[in-house]
Structure formats: C-alpha cells, structure tokens
C-alpha cells in the first residue's frame, strides 16, 4: 500500500468532503458521524474506521475528531483487503481504538522520519490495522472453525500447488466449502499465515519458473499453462515478484546450467 500522507488529531466542525480522485482514505473517526459514500448513508454513534475512495462525512452533535491516511492501492492490496473480509466504502465500528491509534501514531512518526524500508514498514502497519478491524466484524470463533476445516484447507492448498493452472477464484472455492467468501479468506489466513490469493500467485510463479527453465514454450504458452488469461498481467506479476521479466529469468537460468 502506497502511503501518500498521514494526518493525526484532525478536527472538522461540520462536513468532511472526500474527493473521488483515484486515491483512498483510511479514516479513524472519534465522534458520531453520518457517512455517505455513493448512495449509502450510515450513521455511526461510536468510534469507527472506514477505507473509502470518496464520499461525505457529516459530524453529528459535536465537532468530528479523526485521523486520516491517504493511500493508493495496488491490485494485490485489493485482493488482500478482500481476503481478510474488510469492506471498502463501509464504516466499521471500533470498540477499542487503542491498537489502531497506536499504529497510526507510529506510522506518522516513521512517515516523517523516512529512511530505508519505510514503504514496507508502512505497508505492514496498514495491513495490521485492517486485519485488526476486520476481526471485529464476525463474532464466530475463527480458531475453532479453522481447526474443524483444517483437513479441507490443507487438501485445497495441496491442490493449488499441484494444479496452479486451474480456476481458483475464491467465490467458487467458498461456495464449494459452503461458507461465505469473506469467512473462507479469514480461516485460510488463520490456518496458513497467508491469503489464498497469495498462495495461488506463488503456485503459478513456481510452475512458470519451472517451465521457463526446462522448456522452450513461448511466454504466452507459459502464461496460459499457469492459469493466466493475460500475457501482460503474467509478465507484470512475474517481474513484481521475481525482480525480472520471464525472458530475463529464462536467459539467466540457462547461463547458470
């Protein structure tokens, strides 16, 4: 997640407008507010958190106190947010904002200080904030449910790595398991420490690396065998995770033989 700006301890007497400009805002509200995003209007009477790409926030009864983070989301960021079940453009009630406020304060200090690995640190902090907030959305005991489904999840993970070219869309998987998509993502994350989406990426890139090293298949053929519908998306994702293009990887692998 690309953090653009962090402001803490802000106050708004009446209305806080948020432009739809391709960026997102993470807002921790510390007073009652009426939040309008698109056609949806929600009144929050306690502390709340929202990740939104626009809208209007009206204070209710008194001045609105809030912290705000401006950021840009990549496709992988969106998949992660979906995986943990955190809703975009919908406010979430926060019963205890101590953890989130602490992380935001630390992020602000790091953002101002800058330095090496700052982007990675801020990205991890944002993920912890969203994961913490997502945990308040479902009162069901994740640990017990995750344990009861663990054999199914292990079998699923084995199949993902054995057959990376299959269609591993989460809606189909969750429907087969008989649970909601958001809940499937959360118990998978609890079981393995990473999202199903990330495992699918890893399995496909492992298979792609093997094909690039040991076959003369065209790049488009490699992409297709690994479950990619777009050559461009395959090449972009391969470069993002491997640090080089598929062609560069193949050339380097062959010179090392």
Greatest Cα pair distance, the chain, in angstroms, is: 71
Tell me the pLDDT tens digit for each residue of 126-160. Answer: 888 887 787 665 544 455 555 567 888 999 999 99
pLDDT for the residue numbered 98:
76
pLDDT for the residue numbered 222:
95
pLDDT for the residue numbered 96:
66
C-alpha separations of 5 from 8, 69, 73, 111, 213 in Å: 10, 6, 14, 8, 43
C-alpha separations of 155 from 76, 124, 152, 169, 245 in Å: 24, 29, 5, 16, 32
Q: What are the structural domains, with CATH classification, of the chain?
A: 2-134 (2.60.120.280), 140-257 (1.10.10.60)
pLDDT for the residue numbered 205:
93
Q: Which residues of the chain have pLDDT under 50?
A: 139-141
pLDDT for the residue numbered 220:
94
pLDDT for the residue numbered 156:
94
pLDDT for the residue numbered 148:
66
Mean pLDDT for the chain overall:
84
Whole-angstrom Cα distance, residue 170 to residue 195?
11
């Amino acid at each position: 997640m690309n953090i653009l700006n962090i402001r803490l301890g802000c106050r708004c007497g009446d209305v806080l407008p948020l432009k739809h400009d391709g960026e997102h805002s993470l807002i921790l509200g510390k007073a009652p507010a009426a939040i309008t995003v698109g056609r949806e209007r929600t009144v929050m009477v306690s502390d709340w958190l929202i990740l939104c790409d626009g809208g209007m926030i009206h204070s209710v009864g008194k001045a609105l106190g809030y912290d705000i983070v401006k950021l840009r989301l990549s496709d992988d960021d969106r998949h992660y947010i979906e995986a943990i079940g955190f809703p975009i453009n919908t406010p979430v009630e926060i019963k205890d904002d101590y953890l989130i406020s602490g992380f935001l304060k630390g992020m602000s200090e790091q953002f101002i200080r800058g330095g090496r690995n700052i982007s990675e640190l801020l990205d991890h902090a944002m993920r912890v904030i969203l994961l913490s907030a997502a945990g308040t959305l479902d009162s069901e005991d994740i640990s017990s449910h995750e344990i009861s489904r663990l054999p199914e999840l292990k079998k699923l993970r084995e199949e993902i790595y054995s057959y990376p070219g299959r269609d591993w869309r989460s809606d189909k998987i969750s429907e087969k398991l008989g649970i909601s998509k958001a809940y499937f993502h959360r118990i998978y994350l609890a079981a393995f420490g990473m999202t199903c989406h990330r495992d699918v990426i890893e399995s496909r890139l492992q298979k792609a690396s093997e094909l690039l090293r040991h076959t003369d298949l065209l790049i488009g053929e490699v992409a297709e065998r690994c479950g990619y519908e777009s050559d461009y998306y395959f090449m972009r994702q391969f470069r993002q995770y491997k640090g080089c293009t598929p062609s560069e990887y193949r050339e380097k692998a062959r010179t090392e033989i």
